[in-house]
Copies of this chain bind each other. A is one copy, B any other.
Amino acid sequence: MQFKPLNPDFAARVRASFNRQSAMGLIGAELTVVEPGRVTIELPVRDDLGQQHGFVHGGVVGMIADSAGGYSAFTLMPADASVLTVEYKVNMLAPALGERLIARGEVVKPGRTLSIVRADVYALAAGRQTLIAAMQQTLMVMHGMSDEPRV
């Protein structure tokens, strides 16, 4: 689908917000693509992101899916609004293995109050991408709420 952003500075705004997410820094996530309604977050796989079998932890997969989805919705929000996650549901489809995880969010329906997004997460191993997770998410547009730190 083709989306028209309400805020011409949406990309700079998303990048500034992502840089304030210290949890993304902790796991080493990188914001790559920022387009109207679409955001990609990539995560170099590290040993300290694992679950008990040595795969990347499902919760970490959920984290980058949540962020990619939330920022996809944020690209279409007005300049005076902030974004909050209402809920997300993520299916784990295959073990998170490889050199890098790539979470691609895409808005299904932008709304004045709520936006619905889907994100797919791929694992890149030896040049080949495998779909490892599928997410569906509800975001809330917080009108008149700054995206700056509140605490």
Contacts and interface: CB of A to CB of B under 8 A. Distances in A.
Interface string A74-97: 000000001011111111111001
A2 B71 CA distance: 30
A53 interface: yes
Interface of A: 17-18, 20-27, 47-60, 62-67, 70, 82, 84-94, 97, 108-109, 113-114, 116, 118, 131, 134, 136, 138, 140, 147-151
A112 to B, nearest CB: 12
A97 B151 CA distance: 9
A54 B134 contact: no
A116 B138 contact: no
B150 A54 contact: yes
A93 B55 CA distance: 28
Contacts of A57: 21, 23-24, 63, 66-67
B62 A48 contact: no
Given A54-B151, A63-B63, A87 B91 contact: yes
19 contacts: A20-B51, A21-B51, A22-B50, A23-B48, A25-B48, A52-B82, A52-B147, A53-B150, A58-B88, A59-B59, A63-B63, A86-B138, A87-B89, A87-B138, A88-B89, A89-B89, A91-B108, A91-B138, A94-B109
